A and B are shown apart, each in its own frame.
Chain A
Amino acid sequence: KNEVEQSPQNLTAQEGEFITINCSYSVGISALHWLQQHPGGGIVSLFMLSSGKKKHGRLIATINIQEKHSSLHITASHPRDSAVYICAVITGNQFYFGTGTSLTVIP
């Protein structure tokens, strides 16, 4: 049983394309995090959301608490955006993670 489901699993885009990654969860949460895992393995936090929408540069994250769904959008994608994007939810003090979306942006 997966508390967090992501789609798609793999995504290939041409440079400049608009990209959407989806995350659905089945548990009540206090917050949702979007993470980026670089090809070398390092993990960085992109956003923490508990409601609404956040924007940082070309990245936009939204969350709909009632529908238990979040999306990560990348505008004007670039090859340096190639990475695995991971959705994580926190309920109480426990984190649950999606299996990640592997994004490849082709020049």
Chain B
Amino acid sequence: NAGVTQTPKFQVLKTGQSMTLQCAQDMNHEYMSWYRQDPGMGLRLIHYSVGAGITDQGEVPNGYNVSRSTTEDFPLRLLSAAPSQTSVYFCASKTGTGVSVGEKLFFGSGTQLSVL
């Protein structure tokens, strides 16, 4: 099992450019999610999905799009990058949408994104 694979690890964009952060999990998890981590603010939920074809907004969704065409993949798209989107991004997944005994949240290794 690779767990949660997140790419790329580092990315530099110019304002207005677009890009996609990739996230894949091989644990057959229903729940997948994207977060940004900024100094002094902690992790904040951007978007999440509870299964293929189902996505919903989190706390800070503006400027980001997601889709979930398969159980395994949950890409995050920045359509027109802005300096305010400079952050560290994490993808995470867990077993289901309820509360399961022994449930854990599995994180990708993170993406450091800089928008100039």
Please list the residues of chain A having a beta carbon within 8 angstroms of any beta carbon in chain B. Answer: 4, 30-31, 33, 35, 41-45, 48, 50, 86, 88, 90, 93-100
B45 in contact (CB, < 8 A): yes
Interface of A is mostly: strand
A86 and B90 CA atoms in complex are apart in Å by: 14
For residue B25, which residues in chain A have a CB less than 8 angstroms away from its CB? none
For residue A88, which residues in chain B have a CB less than 8 angstroms away from its CB? 43, 105
Could you say which of A86, A93, A94, A100 has the most chain B C-beta atoms within 10 Å of its C-beta?
Answer: A93
B33 in contact (CB, < 8 A): yes
A107 and B15 CA atoms in complex are apart in Å by: 46
> Size of chain B's interface in residues, with CB distance under 8 A?
28
Please list the residues of chain B having a beta carbon within 8 angstroms of any beta carbon in chain A. Answer: 31, 33, 35, 40-45, 48, 50, 56, 58-59, 88, 90, 92, 97-99, 102-107, 109-110
Asked if A97 and B42 make an inter-chain contact with CB atoms under 8 angstroms apart, the answer reads yes
Instruction: Decide: A44 near B107, CB < 8 A? Known: A30-B99, A93-B48.
Output: yes
Asked if B105 and A33 make an inter-chain contact with CB atoms under 8 angstroms apart, the answer reads yes
Asked if A93 and B107 make an inter-chain contact with CB atoms under 8 angstroms apart, the answer reads no
A100 and B37 CA atoms in complex are apart in Å by: 11
Instruction: Decide: A42 near B110, CB < 8 A? Known: A95-B33, A97-B42.
Output: yes
For residue B58, which residues in chain A have a CB less than 8 angstroms away from its CB? 94-95
A43 and B109 CA atoms in complex are apart in Å by: 8
Asked if B59 and A94 make an inter-chain contact with CB atoms under 8 angstroms apart, the answer reads yes
Residue in chain B with minimal CB distance to A42: B109
For residue A86, which residues in chain B have a CB less than 8 angstroms away from its CB? 42-43
- Top 3 nearest A-B pairs (CB, nearest first) are A45-B104, A99-B42, A43-B107
Instruction: Decide: A48 near B107, CB < 8 A? Known: A94-B48, A98-B42.
Output: no
A31 and B104 CA atoms in complex are apart in Å by: 11
Q: How far is the CB of B5 from chain A (nearest CB, A)?
A: 13
